[in-house]
Structure 1
Amino acid sequence: MSGRWIQEWDPEDEVFWRETGERIARRNLLFSVFSEHIGFSLWSMWSVMVLFMGPAYHVDPAGKFFLISTATAVGAVVRIPYTFAVARFGGRNWTIFSALSLLVPTAAAYAVMKPGTSYATFMAVAALAGIGGGNFASSMTNINSFFPLRKKGWALGLNAGGGNIGVPVVQLVGLLVIGTAGATHPRIVLAVYVPLIVAAAVGAAWKMDNLAPVRNDTGAALEAVRDRHTWIMSLLYIGTFGSFIGYSFAFGLVLQTQFGRTPLQAASLTFIGPLLGSVIRPIGGLLADRVGGARITLWNFAAMAVATGVVIYASVEKSLGVFLVGFISLFVLSGLGNGSTYKMIPAIFQARAVSKGMVGEDAVAYGRRLSGAAMGLIGAVGALGGLGINLAFRQSFLSNGTGTAAFVSFLAFYAVCFMVTWAVYLRFPVAKATASERVYAGV
């Protein structure tokens, strides 16, 4: 699969960007979004499949939480090799392959989704669905290389937001199937996605490009691993994206288990939060471009803590209406924070270059190398936050029969993220800040 290769690419050159680069970058962004969207849908399909698993399946709520946790965990782990696959095989080529590979978990789920299937089989098939989570890492790494630094917040936010929308879309498909065919026909959901997977692969082959200048750089990867900001941003991304994906997978189950909703009632609500969180992600990136990623991230965590307090109150008082207001607010805020934190990554490593005395193209190249290497690791660790949320819910429901204890732990974590963001990126007055700190904060 040799693909179509672009040999020279310099988006920071404004003439090149205006005359050639922007058109090509936008085209690749469009088809990258579509492929990543399908990947997210298939990664999160078990958040929908468990709604179809009635008493005949003999799987209790804790078992269902563990199924979606399995998909979350695999999706997080495969993000690391997917990140480096873009440079090894080319963004276009890898998008074709990664899209077609989604046929495997789809076909496997189609075969086993029936009463009588063993729990171990369900776990194995849920693990296969995790490969859909890897599409995010390769897509973000690829698109990061196409756009100049001044456009990365918007481009990465749009790319990720369009992908994230795959979560509410598959939930809407599930709602449509439950509302029309009933809760005994999960295979219809899976059948819908087969032609979409093929369309994503064909679109990538037809319209996307490989960038020859993008190459795996072992030195950059090792440097990114050693850089403390990679791990600090991983922590913050657990708080934003980990929340988004964890809540997306668990929302329907929480409504069924804690509030006694039927599959149809749960499905009619679960898509709202992920949809709003996905739509607002590009806005988080755009605000970060204009105001500064650290500022947006800081106050976003404060707002997430407040929303979590509302959810805890509603959980204790058993108020579904208040619970929905607080929980959906968490989705919106996690989406906003997703955009702002991801904008911070290239700015941080660009600033590292400046602090080392680099200027011009040298600084740009250094920032691009390290941010590309760091994104895969940060994305993987962030997705593991979703696993933590799913396991926290499982333990909370096992121990107490409600999700209240889990939400208390989330509140504490958001407080930690708030303090870390302030302490590392915003505590110094502008006049005393180093060049790197000013770029981190966006001031």
Structure 2
Amino acid sequence: MLKDTDAWWFMFFYSVTFGGFVGLASSLTIYFNIQYGLDAKTAGFFTAACVFAGSLVRPIGGNVADRIGGIKSLSVMYVLAAAFLGIVSIGLPTAWMALLAFVGAMLALGMGNGAVFQLVPQRFRKEIGVMTGLVGMAGGIGGFYLASSLGYAKQITGSYQIGFLIFAALALLAFAGLSGVKNRWRTTWGAAHLTAAKI
């Protein structure tokens, strides 16, 4: 499986969507506490709102991908996630503004998670079990490294902002990668005569 470049693409795509989701979920309580001075309880509620929003829309993301195609859906989600994270990186003046931006980012990442898994079984019909495991593993690893990048950014620069810029840049890199493979995917395994699903 690891000799197949598409496997690596899917692992990368999910490391950004799910990894970004997990990375933010594990970091936001501390961020709200340090950046905006929220007490632990309030910071926890803010983080929970972000996580709940992103989790709730995952099946919606899959449904949207079924309707308009996984590639198109995932592309939009990467751009939206990058935009919201870019907004966060400028250092918003209030915690409520930051909350809205983070909810937007988590909604995009959550829907992106659903879109990735709309595509995976179309490409790897016979290897769906092992491929699901590999993609899920990549998401977990991505979450660890993305959360670490926020910590390192704070330690080195005294601010979390460069860490959010890294998040945004990775989302744009994933968008560029998806744009690079979409024509090949749509004319090979995603061709209309090979699958009834919208790719």
TM score, norm. by length of structure 2: 0.91
Per the TM alignment, residue 290 of structure 1 is displaced from its structure 2 partner at its CA by: 2.0
CA distance in 2 between counterparts of 1:318 and 1:434 reads: 47
Task: Give the match's secondary structure for 2:189.
Answer: helix
* 1:402 alignment partner, one of 159, 169, 175: 159
Task: State the Cα distance separating 1:259 from its structure 2 match.
Answer: 1.5
The one-letter amino acid of 2:34's match is T
1:311 paired residue among 69, 74, 88: 88
- Give the letter for the 1:340 counterpart: A
Q: Is the 8 A contact 1:225 1:374 kept in 2?
A: no
* Structure 2 SS opposite 1:294: helix
Structure 1 gaps of 5+ residues are 1-223, 350-366
Q: Deviations over 1:29-71 (max 9, x none)?
A: xxxxxxxxxxxxxxxxxxxxxxxxxxxxxxxxxxxxxxxxxxx
Rg comparison, structure with higher value: 1
TM-superposed deviation, 1:329: 0.8
Q: Is the 8 A contact 2:81 2:106 kept in 1?
A: no
Does the CA-based 8 Å contact 2:57-2:111 persist in structure 1? yes
User: Out of 370, 377, 395, which is 2:134 matched to?
Assistant: 377
Paired with 1:324 and 1:263, the residues of 2 have a C-alpha distance of 15
Q: Distance in 1 between matches of 2:181 and 2:55?
A: 27
User: What does the per-residue CA deviation read over 1:177-211, in whole Å, with 9 as the maximum and x for residues that have no partner?
Assistant: xxxxxxxxxxxxxxxxxxxxxxxxxxxxxxxxxxx
Q: Match for residue 256 of structure 1?
A: 33
Q: Distance in 2 between matches of 1:309 and 1:240?
A: 16
Partner of 1:283: 60
| TM-align CA RMSD | 1.9
User: Residues 297 and 341 of structure 1 are in contact (CA less than 8 Å); yes or no, is this contact kept in structure 2?
Assistant: yes
Tell me the percent identity: 26
* 1:435 positional shift: 4.0
Within 2, Cα distance between the matches of 1:247 and 1:418? 19
Counterpart for residue 3 of structure 2: 226
- Cα drift, residue 405 of structure 1: 0.8
Amino acid at match of 1:282: P
Structure 2 counterpart of 1:423: 180
Is there any run of 5+ residues in structure 2 with no aligned partner, and where? Answer: none
Secondary structure of the 2:159 match is coil
| Greater relative contact order, per chain length (Cα 8 Å cut-off, separation 6+) | 2
2:28 partner letter: F
- 2:195 corresponds to 1:442: no
Contact between 2:69 and 2:198, CA under 8 Å: does it hold in 1?
yes
1:263-278 equivalences under 5 Å are 263-278=40-55
Distance 1:391 1:241 in 2: 15
Q: Secondary structure at the match of 1:226?
A: coil
What are the Cα deviations for residues 131-180 of structure 1, in whole angstroms up to 9, with x where unaligned? xxxxxxxxxxxxxxxxxxxxxxxxxxxxxxxxxxxxxxxxxxxxxxxxxx
1:438 and 1:420 mapped to 2: Cα distance? 19
Aligned counterpart, 1:345:
120
Contact preservation (8 Å) 2:122, 2:190: no
What's 2:16 paired with? Answer: 239
Q: How many residues are matched? A: 196
- The whole-number CA distance in structure 2 between the counterparts of 1:400 and 1:304 is 23
Shift of 1:262: 1.0
